[in-house]
Amino acid sequence: MSQHYLDPVINPRTVAVIGASKSPLKRGNRAIRTLASANYKGTILPIHPSDDEILGYKAYPSVAAVPFDIDLALVCTAAATVPDILEECGRKGVKGAVLLAGGFSEASEEGRVLEERAVAVAKRYGVRLIGPNTSGMFSARMGCNASGWFNVPTGPLALLSNSANVLLSLVAEFQFQANTGISTMLSVGNQADIQFHEYLDYLGTDDATRAALFYVEGFKNGPAFIETARKVAPAKPIVMYVAGRSDAGKGAAKSHSGSLAGDYAVSRGVLQQAGVVMVGQSDHMYPVADALSLFPVMKGRRVAVVSEGGGPITMAAEALAANGLVLAQLSAETQAKIHAVVPAASAISNPVDAGGGTDPRVEYYGPISKAILEDPNIDALLLVGYFGGYTTRYDDSVAEAEQAVCRELGELMHKHGKPVIVQTHFANFKPSSLAVLREAGVPFHRHIEVAVQCLAAAADYGRARERLLASAGADQALAPRAHAEALIQAARKQGRDLLETESREILGEYGIQVPPSVLMRTDGDAAAAIGKLGAAPLAVKIVSKDILHKSEAGGVKLNVTGEQALRAAFAEIKANAARYDAGAEVTGALATPMAARGVELIIGVTQDPQYGKVIMFGLGGIFVEVIRDVAFRSLPLKEADAREMIAELRYASVLDGVRGAAAADKEALVDLLMKVSQVATAHPDLAEIDLNPVILHDKGYSVVDARMIVAPAS
């Protein structure tokens, strides 16, 4: 495999410390000490205008004075010095630079201008930049600790973060847990040059990284990250905490890093679509990433629970249900095997009570776990309670037996390809058995909820991985339908959005079922409308390029029956429109049959500032903004994406029929979502599509209202 273009920056053979200092209080001193403490395999080059030696390393007065090539410059000086320093680095042929200083775009308009100057210089010479406004980076391969943090443990997890503080908090947890370590660590800062997607692309090629953990406040290029995640996620889990789930969170994120924190619901939908495992609590970041780096790929959501008492079993069952995991029934054969081990057991169908009604015996766990993991009805095993701490609960006489089971659990997990995780009351005591368990590759945690979250994340990742592998390959570009494109371009040239009549035409061009309608330009068209649409009650709506929200303008009349009523509705709508906006240009009124009852939905396409075009689906009607039961995905949509969107709704059960109503036609809904995706991707100049409501019936659907917004001409 050829070397990744970021490799010389992340794994430099030579590091020039610009702003090197003999003062232990200066970052230019600490940088040299952290590099030395990590046994850096390359060459440390202090840069100082007058000192010949710093901390035992030969110093040079300038970058230009160094007699050999430099891979990375660690710039420890103030923001104002950076453009000139990068000019010197560029002339020297330095490949990359870490810009530690703050005071750039995250701080002020002057800082933004300074940042742009620095980036322009770097681009002119091909110098890649980490930061600015960063705490630095760490790479285990070369022992390149340019993070300013001592004793970073090494291991298979990569850490990337918008926030240096969050990054250091995670490092502290790694150090405290002492179970795993870090392959690459980066505080990305303002992402003025190298961005999240480029770092992820590098990690996808790094053999030392088994999983990547991200704290994200905003992407500079969301579509590029999504594309890269789709490529990397099938091989390596990507775990992410995304900030901005509230207005307060979004405001804090913007002021902190200068990033645009997009709507969290959009981020969650499009990132999960790309295979990213999302965590919603900061205390789940480390455990989930660690577990996914250890687990085999989980093939379903069926979990077996083993304990030695009822309380932990009950808590585990509740946590599993809350996370969408299933306590699947063990087969009769498996139950017979367990009964042979624990004849007095009161529960063996799942959960399994290994106590057997008496004092628990640690030797039960091995054969019980073996029987469960051999059961094809089970995808993962969760042990809760005493296990791992029997020596603490009783005495060292059980140590040998418990440690043997710990080793066996690791062997069984890998043999059967099913995750195994342990929740133990004694995790904080760190008994010797848990060290053996961890050495065998099985994670453990103090709290049931954390252990269950790890399994839920494993199930989510397994499903996403399967979906990504099944749908791999380039999306086929759909040629735009000529008539639809002509309508869009005509409206764009006139500087207006599409009329509903035009929107309906475009939907029809792509095979979307649109109810019949008649555009009435005068009340004299009422007879023709009744002749075409029949005597059934009609809905009548204003058609005007100047009136976007029809209901607010009094531009909608429902259940209109007969020619005279239709004439009266037309006149009233025109009068209401004139009162609402005297200058509005009214094309006419659209008459269409009232839709049959069903489930009201909303389907829309919008331009997200981070991810580009996204599609939204959810429960619709007038309360859509109150209920906010919606799901998002990026475009183009795959069929599996459409099905996941439907299943993701909190109230998805309404589609299965309630109070005697027939189940809604989900297959027709999937087809509609796919066709809306086709319309949006085939026509880049459609900025927004809004179908609200769509009435989903037991057979088919009715698009009741359609609105399309055209991107302004450039």
Q: Which of 361, 362, 364 is nearest to 348 (CA)?
A: 364
- The C-alpha angle with vertex 652 and arms to 651 and 656, in degrees rounded to 5, equals 120
- Whether residue 704 contacts residue 695, with contact meaning beta carbons closer than 8 Å, is answered with yes
Within this chain, domains 298-470 and 599-710 share the same CATH topology: no
Q: Which helix (H) or strand (E) holds 146?
A: strand 144-146
CATH topology of domain 599-710: D-amino Acid Aminotransferase; Chain A, domain 1 (3.30.470)
Cα separation, 47 vs 470, in Å, equals 53
What is the model's pLDDT at position 259?
Answer: 31
Tokens standing for 406? 């710990």
Question: Cα–Cα distances in Å, from 232 out to 77, 236, 275?
Answer: 36, 6, 9
- Show the DSSP H helices in 135-195 as ranges: 164-177
DSSP state of 562: S
CATH code at 1-146: 3.40.50.720
Surface-to-core class of residue 334, CB atoms within 10 Å of its CB (0-12 exposed, 13-18 middle, 19+ buried): buried
Residue 599: other Cβ atoms inside 10 A: 24
Q: Which of 9, 171, 167 is nearest to 94 (CA)?
A: 9
Q: Assign domain 298-470 one CATH number from 3.40.50.150, 3.30.360.10, 3.90.1170.10, 3.40.50.261.
A: 3.40.50.261
3-state secondary structure 621-633: CCCHHHHCCEEEE
Look up tokens 């804090």; give the residue: 252
Q: How would DSSP label each residue in 272-326? A: HHTTPEE-SSGGGHHHHHHHHHHSPPP-SSEEEEEESSHHHHHHHHHHHHHTT-E
What is the model's pLDDT at position 248?
Answer: 52
Phi, psi of 648 (to 5 degrees): -75, -20
Tokens standing for 63? 């970058």
- Show the DSSP H helices in 101-234 as ranges: 109-125, 164-177, 196-205, 222-232
Look up tokens 């075409």; give the residue: 532
What is the model's pLDDT at position 253?
Answer: 41
Question: Sign of torsion, CA 565 568 570 573?
Answer: negative
Residue 235: other Cβ atoms inside 10 A: 12
Cα separation, 394 vs 375, in Å, equals 31
Cα separation, 89 vs 279, in Å, equals 40
- Whether residue 543 contacts residue 587, with contact meaning beta carbons closer than 8 Å, is answered with yes
Residue 313: other Cβ atoms inside 10 A: 22
Residue 195: other Cβ atoms inside 10 A: 18
Tokens standing for 224? 């590029």
Which residues pair with residue 339 across a beta bridge? Answer: none
Query: Is 213 strand, coil or helix?
Result: strand
Cα separation, 35 vs 55, in Å, equals 12
- Per residue in 615-625, pLDDT (tens digit) is 999 987 665 66
Cα separation, 522 vs 450, in Å, equals 66
Instruction: Classify strands 444-445 and 420-424 as parallel, antiparallel or unpaired.
Output: parallel
Phi, psi of 214 (to 5 degrees): -120, 140
What is the model's pLDDT at position 665?
Answer: 92
Phi, psi of 286 (to 5 degrees): -65, -50
Residue 712: other Cβ atoms inside 10 A: 9
Cα separation, 711 vs 424, in Å, equals 57
CATH topology of domain 516-593: Dna Ligase; domain 1 (3.30.1490)
Cα separation, 311 vs 304, in Å, equals 16
DSSP state of 664: P
Phi, psi of 31 (to 5 degrees): -60, -45
What CATH class has 153-294? alpha beta
- Per residue in 352-365, pLDDT (tens digit) is 988 755 566 888 89
What is the model's pLDDT at position 344?
Answer: 75
Residue 341: other Cβ atoms inside 10 A: 20
What is the model's pLDDT at position 485?
Answer: 96
Tokens standing for 79? 């923001």
What is the model's pLDDT at position 475?
Answer: 66
What is the model's pLDDT at position 397?
Answer: 87
pLDDT beneath 70: ranges in the chain:
1, 245-262, 356-360, 474-477, 621-626, 660
Q: Euclidean distance between the first and final Cα of the chain, in Å?
A: 43
Look up tokens 């509230």; give the residue: 246
Query: Is 560 strand, coil or helix?
Result: strand
Parse the chain into domains and list their residue ranges: 1-146, 153-294, 298-470, 516-593, 599-710
Q: Which are the contacts of 105, defined by CB distance < 8 A and separation ≥ 6?
A: 111, 112, 115, 190, 192, 258
- Whether residue 526 contacts residue 520, with contact meaning beta carbons closer than 8 Å, is answered with yes
Widest distance between CA atoms in the chain: 99
The alpha carbon of residue 240 and the mean position of all alpha carbons in its chain are separated, in whole angstroms, by 6
Query: Is 144 strand, coil or helix?
Result: strand
Query: Is 248 strand, coil or helix?
Result: helix
Q: Which are the contacts of 653, defined by CB distance < 8 A and separation ≥ 6?
A: none
- Whether residue 163 contacts residue 215, with contact meaning beta carbons closer than 8 Å, is answered with yes
What is the model's pLDDT at position 453?
Answer: 98
What is the model's pLDDT at position 257?
Answer: 28
Report pTM. Answer: 0.91
